[in-house]
Amino acid sequence: MLLFTFVIFGLLIIVYFLAIKPFNYWKERNVQTGKIIPFFGDSFGMFFGMESYADMTVSLYNKVSNVRYVGAYQFQVPSLVLRCPRLIKEICVKNSDHFLDHRSIIPENVDELWSRNLFLLKGQNWKDVRSSITPSFTSSKMKAMFVLIHEISNTFVNHFLEKNEDFIEVDFKDYFSRYSIDIIASTAFGLQIDSLKDRQNKFYMMGQEGANFSTPLKKIIFFIYQLFPRFSKFFKIKLLGDEVRLFFVNLVRSQIEIRRKINIKRPDMLGLLMEAQGVEQNENASEIENSNSEISMEHLEVNNQEKGLTESDIVSQAFIFFVAGYESGSSAMCFMAYELALNPDVQKKLIEEIDAVKSDEAPAYETIMNMTYLDMVFSETIRKWPVLVATDRVVTKPYTIEPEHPGEQPLHCKNGDILFLPIFAIHHDPDYFENPEKFDPERFSPENKGSIQPYTYLPFGAGPRNCIASRFVSMEIKAVFFNLLSHFEIVPIEKTPIPLKLIKSSMNLASETGFHLGLKRRNRNITY
């Protein structure tokens, strides 16, 4: 009987510390929350496949209306959901030195591929690596890399032209994932592959495995990371299998060795990262963050003791560039093709713009990037289907959110508190974007885009920790659609999902039934 009592008492203690105490965090701070499920917090629906990650961000955002922020729990971890654009600016830009870090979704030092990548680095380490890498993403560097991207986009379109058919049914998820893999193989790792012809090439197969985080095993590992970070760190529970991890590590290191031995210089990401080794701030630093003019370069100040990149840094950056670029790039292309197929008036206008600037010569970087309507279509695509569904910031220096509205109290944020930016939900808030489910590129016309409320359009995040590769993503997507629409129209077919339903098992935006569309040959006399 005594043993039974001790067991019950022990279980009650466990339940209290795992299912009750963690979920009092926001209540004790007078922050409103919605209904909370023990153990899972607000992540119950997503974990069990009942809602997508995008749906979860909308649920969090709408839990309580007419407030600037709302309390939530991702499993047992409390997070503050930011709902007010002015507050997002205050947190991410004006006072970004208080919120330097991202949340550690993977415990430190568990896997060398993750330990030094830019997304997960913290504090001064992040500043040093960001300062070394950022010059690699200036427009001048992207212009040099555009040659590689245009060549691959041409190969992609020629694959369909060689079929010599007037109409082709295409699984765009498959094809754009292969295009994206080929882009990254060339621009990040210096490899020339053609995944449309060699469909089982090792880089593609390893890439598919490395970028897929929705398998049951990986979901369980993420669950362990969140609930038992010390346990996973002690036993070094890795997210990736040894084969995938060693493939990428050995690939980068062998490429570095070969390039150094025979002095190869190539305008790809690996070459730019190698240039960054031991190199001080690039003279084009003023150009680096021109998309966020309010960001001070002091946030990217380099620690003089740690300039340059190590080889481990390069391996980590190349891998995260692959993971982030592969899924986000291919998904954005799929959604853009889908919207063009369902909005033929938009597609017609875009084709007219392409035909007006097309010539017998390969398009210049400036030609593609300065196309007004192409940019409008791209911008609306990543408004409705953002590259980042959500992002976060971690408090690195205590900060107080002062009250603005009646009934608010000062909210003291302490070190380690997590702030959550529900980008997908903000992009679909009718208060900021009228009829948000409608695909309307005119929102981003030169006449209209100035009326968009600042910090309600956040496809690449905001502030110093925004997505460093936004230019690259824009360039690879615009290049392939310029070439594709020069020869084809994209049209719906019987298998096209209308309306589109998001898959619930993925952290990223994806269609439940894929992106099956048709390519209708335009003018066979076009030889460009």
Tell me the sheet residues that pair with 421.
391
Q: Tell me the three-class secondary structure of 222-262, residue by residue.
A: HHHHHHCHHHHHHCCCCCCCHHHHHHHHHHHHHHHHHHHHH
Tell me the sheet residues that pair with 490.
519
Dihedral-angle region of residue 514 (phi above 0 means left; psi in -120 to 50 means alpha; beta otherwise): left
Beta carbons of 366 and 401 less than 8 angstroms apart: no
Beta carbons of 37 and 44 less than 8 angstroms apart: yes
Note the pLDDT of residue 339.
98
Exposed/middle/buried for residue 358 (C-beta within 10 Å: 0-12, 13-18, 19+): middle
Q: Which long-range contacts link 275-278 to residues 24+ away (Cβ below 8 Å)?
A: 275/136, 276/132, 276/133, 276/135, 276/136, 276/308, 276/309, 277/308, 277/309, 277/310, 277/314, 278/307, 278/308
Per the document, the length of the chain is 528
Q: Which two tokens stand for residue 299?
A: 């946030």
Residue 318, SS3 per DSSP? helix
Tell me the sheet residues that pair with 459.
461
CA distance 130 to 301: 9
Give the residue carrying structure tokens 């979860």.
56
Note the pLDDT of residue 19.
62
Which 8-state DSSP code applies to residue 172? H
Q: Tell me the three-class secondary structure of 275-292, residue by residue.
A: HCCCCCCCCCHHHCCCCC
Beta carbons of 423 and 458 less than 8 angstroms apart: yes
**Cβ of 178: how many Cβ atoms within 10 Å?**
24
Q: What angle do CA 116, 121, 123 make, to 5 degrees?
A: 135
Question: pLDDT tens across 6-48, in order?
Answer: 667 666 666 656 666 677 888 888 999 988 877 777 887 777 7
Note the pLDDT of residue 353.
97
The number of C-alpha atoms within 13 Å of 368 and in the hemisphere containing its C-beta is 28
β pairing state of 77-82 and 418-421: parallel
Note the pLDDT of residue 221.
82
Helix (H) or strand (E) holding 421: strand 418-421
Amino acid (1-letter code) at residue 354: I
Whose CA is closest to 113, among 313, 328, 326? 313
Which 8-state DSSP code applies to residue 114? H
Beta carbons of 207 and 321 less than 8 angstroms apart: no
CA distance 358 to 368: 10
Note the pLDDT of residue 280.
39
Q: Which two tokens stand for residue 379?
A: 């911008």
Beta carbons of 475 and 146 less than 8 angstroms apart: yes
Note the pLDDT of residue 344.
97
Question: pLDDT tens across 356-404, in order?
Answer: 998 878 889 999 999 999 999 999 999 999 989 999 999 999 999 999 9
Mark the ranges of the chain whose per-residue pLDDT is less than 70: 1-2, 4, 6-7, 9-21, 115, 227, 277-308, 524-528
467 is in an annotated binding site: yes
Question: pLDDT tens across 78-93, in order?
Answer: 999 999 999 999 999 9
402 Cβ contact list (under 8 Å, min separation 6): 410
Give the residue carrying structure tokens 């339903």.
501
Please provide residue 384's backbone torsions phi and psi, each rounded to the nearest 5 degrees: -75, -35
Question: pLDDT tens across 464-507, in order?
Answer: 999 888 999 999 999 999 999 999 999 999 999 999 999 887 77
CA 447, distance to chain mean position in Å, is: 28
**Cβ of 393: how many Cβ atoms within 10 Å?**
28
